């Protein structure tokens, strides 16, 4: 049986996203949350040399999501996360987490049905009509956004909840588009990240190394790639530099299974 592990301490300062860091910051439980989220986003975007217009739009989006988290979610356990991925193209992902119970979004099945209408989500997806603004700004920037179940990163326990995320494409001039320094063997990196998220993992060896995170949750390490299966979308191939994104997908699928069994009753809302 796969049992949750106690998460490790999260590094929140002095971390370089371009080197594969995955920082997290707490949000205050009140009106100041939006300003704090904007400040966090500004520092991250400055690190990545984002164009001023893209940086301003990202700050507007994250302030909307932070406000929704503390107004409609669990205001005492809200967080901002950031990380980079490089497949299919280099991009920054920013997420706002809150620990309100995951009840599903009423979203379309990820297999390809139409997504819900922005501005008319379920109340626990991420709040009111600011979603229309989120949708417009991310589309204009060439990014994407969505919401999914996950678990808390700050604090002693892996408390379940949801994260609303959006992505920002990296400019070609950003040094962060280059692969990060070698973090070591991919299986060990995956296990390290999974342990910090409260997921126990096992490694099996054969024609390909396989890291198991629970029933139906696995990542193959083969031919210099990380491969995993997304229900309804088939096998996804990512480079080792996207280990954070891969483990976050494992956490997401684990929480979807906990919410609805092997066939989740409410798939994540994923507009990417």
Distance from C-alpha of 23 to C-alpha of 95, rounded to nearest angstrom: 11
Question: What phi and psi, each to the nearest 5 degrees, are found at residue 31?
Answer: -60, -20
How long is the chain?
272
pLDDT band at 223 (very low <50, low <70, confident <90, very high): confident
- What's the pLDDT tens digit per position in 108-140? 333 333 334 344 444 344 445 678 889 999 999
Distance from C-alpha of 42 to C-alpha of 214, rounded to nearest angstrom: 37
pLDDT at 228 (0 to 100): 94
Q: Is pLDDT above 60 for 72?
A: yes
Give every CB contact of residue 185 below 8 A, 6+ residues apart in sequence: none
Work out the average pLDDT over 53-74.
92
Q: What is the pTM of this model?
A: 0.84
Distance from C-alpha of 8 to C-alpha of 154, rounded to nearest angstrom: 9
pLDDT band at 221 (very low <50, low <70, confident <90, very high): very high
Do 244 and 193 contact (CB within 8 A), yes or no?
Answer: yes
Short-list 218, 195, 200, CA closest to 208: 218
């Amino acid at each position: 049986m796969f049992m949750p592990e106690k998460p490790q301490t999260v590094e929140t300062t002095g971390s370089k996203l371009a080197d594969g860091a995955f920082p997290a910051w707490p949000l205050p439980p009140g009106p100041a949350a939006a300003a704090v989220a904007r400040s966090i986003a500004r520092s991250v975007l400055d690190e990545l040399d984002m164009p001023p217009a893209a940086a301003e739009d990202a700050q507007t989006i994250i302030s909307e999501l932070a406000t929704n988290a503390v107004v409609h979610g669990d205001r005492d356990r809200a967080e901002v996360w950031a990380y980079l991925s490089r497949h299919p193209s280099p991009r920054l992902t920013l997420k706002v987490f809150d620990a309100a119970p995951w009840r599903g979004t009423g979203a379309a099945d990820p297999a390809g049905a139409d997504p819900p209408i922005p501005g008319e989500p379920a109340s626990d997806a991420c709040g009111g009509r600011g979603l229309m603004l989120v949708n417009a700004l991310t589309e204009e920037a060439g990014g994407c956004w969505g919401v999914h179940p996950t678990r808390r990163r700050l604090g002693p326990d892996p408390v379940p909840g949801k994260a609303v995320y959006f992505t920002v494409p990296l400019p070609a001039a950003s040094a962060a588009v280059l692969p990060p320094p070698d973090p070591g063997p991919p299986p060990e990196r995956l296990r390290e990240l999974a342990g910090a998220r409260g997921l126990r993992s096992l490694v099996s060896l054969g024609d390909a190394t396989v890291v198991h995170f629970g029933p139906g949750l696995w990542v193959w390490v083969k031919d210099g790639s990380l491969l995993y299966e997304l229900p309804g979308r088939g096998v996804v191939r990512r480079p080792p530099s996207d280990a954070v994104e891969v483990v976050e997908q494992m956490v997401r699928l684990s929480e979807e299974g906990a919410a609805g069994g092997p066939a989740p009753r409410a798939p994540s809302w994923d507009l990417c």
